[in-house]
Amino acid sequence: MAHYASTGPEIWNDTEGLATHFVCGMGTCGTLSGTGRYLKEQNAMVRVIGVDPQGSIFHDLCRRLSTSSKA
């Protein structure tokens, strides 16, 4: 909730409500989910993009899910 209450509003205010994308390292997903949630509530068109390095748990999970959906 910290990023929802602080980071999200800070980004929204600093961009004067013109933020269109939010790119964030996934880590524990607290920043991504809290900030992303706040920004999406302000403008549903905001794109929230999580990035994570190859070899991480998220990268491997997404790769497995992507491969299994093609079967």
Q: Can you give the residue ranges of every domain in the chain?
A: 2-69
SS3 27: coil
CATH number given to 2-69: 3.40.50.1100
Res 13: pLDDT: 99
Res 52: pLDDT: 83
Selection from 50, 2, 46, 6 nearest residue 29 by Cα: 50
- pLDDT, one tens digit per residue, over 7-64 is 999 999 999 999 999 999 988 889 999 999 999 999 999 999 998 877 777 777 777 8
Q: What count of other Cβ atoms lies within 10 Å of the Cβ of residue 16? A: 7
Q: Reduced to 3 DSSP states, what percent helix, strand and coil does the chain have, rounded to the nearest 5?
A: 55, 15, 30
Question: Tokens standing for 10?
Answer: 């800070």
pTM of the model: 0.79
